[in-house]
Structure 1
Amino acid sequence: MTGLVLFDLDDTLVDRSAAFRRWAAELCADRSLPAGAFEWLLAADRSEGFFAAVRARFGLVDDVWAQYRRRMPELVTCRPGVLSLLTGLRAAGRRVGIVTNGHADNQLGKIRRTGLDRAVDGWAVSGELGVRKPDRALFAAAAAACGADLAGGGWMVGDNPADDIAGGRAAGLATIWIAGGRPWPRDLLPPDHTCDTVEAAAGWILPA
């Protein structure tokens, strides 16, 4: 197995879901939104047209989207064990990278504020390159940023069944799904391995 190991960012290396909950709570408090607004925001998260729907539902006139993009990098966290995992992989000679969908300012802000920029060899962000997972081109760009390529295979670790696991497999990578207690979708081929946390992936990538 080659030394390349690629990781998704949101809800794999950083806790995007917890950050969104904090952002939603702040929005409710700052704008004095009505009862039930917090629950509605959580339920509607990642839905198409989310920010337009937020403005329309609560009568907001300011740019909620711009505020979200500024604030989310400040709210995400990366567990110390995750940083230790990445450091350990690199110490073992692996090339370690991040491959993520999202706007460049938002995703790069998360990478830099959490110290992930110092813990990996490189990254590829869809907003910078104009191509999104599960497109093979984004995985190839991440590999190149790490000084590697996809020809020799490697690993893709992520929480999204379609973007990370199906996309990683199509790019020629072995896959580790970060399930977080969720069941695997029945309509997709299963990953090579499943872990509840990203730290546990080390057991497959660096077997004893």
Structure 2
Amino acid sequence: MPLVLIALDDTLLDRSGAFRLWAKGFLDEIGAPQADLEWLLSVDADGLTPRWDLADLIRDRYRLNVPSIDILEELREGPLTFERLDPLVGCALRIAGDAGLVPVVVTNGPTEIQDTRIRRTGLDQYIADWVISERAGVSKPNPRIFALAAQRVRMRLGGAWVVGDSPEADIGGAAAMGLPSVWLHRGREWVDNRFAPTRVVGNVIQGISAIMAAQ
């Protein structure tokens, strides 16, 4: 039974798509031009920009007469209303489970938010377990967080696959452990010459299929 350690953001859940939808509505709400959408997406940096910093950037750019904490709450809750689990992803996970694969989510981020996303979208029904960096006290690409994920389901880390869209956090983590990996390219080219993914695919469904074909 191969263990499959899968990222959450922009792998199992379309975090970027949900943020884009929220951003369009937010810009309309504050009377900002839709041309600013690309600016907002760029400063968000796929969620890597700290939320407090992003809230300050938004407040300063649009001279909003509200405290940053109000914008922070909007940044945390707003995109969640647009986030859904793709039924085809759920189906792929179900098929993978029936075939003997054991999918476990390994994600960086705050515990409360990531827990909420996993449960609210129903993703928890399709995975064996999940590990969140804030709760674990260690983040990807540190091998310890992947080892904790294996322990959660009482499986050996050896022979596991790592699936994700982050070259550093996911594929770098797999390389550090000597594990095979699947990278979701999302339209990008692989440019890191320190390590490389075992497979390159367009989405997580293709990634699961690649792992099943390799068994």
TM-score of the aligned structures, taking structure 1 as reference length = 0.90
Give the match for residue 71 of structure 2.
Answer: 64
179, 185, 188: which one aligns with 1:182: 188
Deviation at 1:34, TM superposition (A): 4.6
Q: Secondary structure at the match of 2:194?
A: coil
1:7-40: CA deviation from partner (whole Å, max 9, x where unpaired): 1011111111111101211221222235643232
Deviation at 1:192, TM superposition (A): 0.6
Q: Distance in 1 between matches of 2:84 and 2:34?
A: 28
Write out aligned runs for 1:1-208 (5 A): 3-34=2-33, 36-46=35-45, 47=49, 49-60=53-64, 61-62=66-67, 63-150=70-157, 152-207=158-213
Deviation at 1:109, TM superposition (A): 1.7
Between 1:160-169 and 1:185-194, the stretch displaced more is 185-194
1:50-74: CA deviation from partner (whole Å, max 9, x where unpaired): 2221122112324212222122322
Q: Cα RMSD (Å) of the superposition?
A: 1.8
Counterpart of 2:167, as a letter, is P
Deviation at 1:44, TM superposition (A): 1.3
Q: Secondary structure at the match of 2:4?
A: strand
Q: Secondary structure at the match of 1:37?
A: helix
* Identity score, percent: 37
For structure 2, the residue ranges without an aligned partner over 5 or more in a row are: none
More helix by share: 2
Q: Secondary structure at the match of 1:124?
A: strand
Deviation at 1:93, TM superposition (A): 1.8
Q: Secondary structure at the match of 2:78?
A: helix
Counterpart of 1:196, as a letter, is G
| Matched length | 206
Q: Secondary structure at the match of 1:133?
A: coil
Between 1:133-142 and 1:41-50, the stretch displaced more is 41-50
Counterpart of 2:91, as a letter, is S
- Distance change in 2, residues 1:145/1:73 (3 Å): farther
1:171-203: CA deviation from partner (whole Å, max 9, x where unpaired): 342100011221001433110111111111233
For structure 1, the residue ranges without an aligned partner over 5 or more in a row are: none
Asked if the contact 2:28/2:34 (under 8 Å) is kept, the reply is: no
Q: Distance in 2 between matches of 1:181 and 1:37?
A: 22
Between 1:137-146 and 1:35-44, the stretch displaced more is 35-44
Q: Distance in 2 between matches of 1:102 and 1:96?
A: 19
Q: Distance in 2 between matches of 1:147 and 1:73?
A: 31
Q: Distance in 2 between matches of 1:34 and 1:202?
A: 40
TM-score of the aligned structures, taking structure 2 as reference length = 0.88
Q: Secondary structure at the match of 1:157?
A: strand
Q: Secondary structure at the match of 2:103?
A: strand
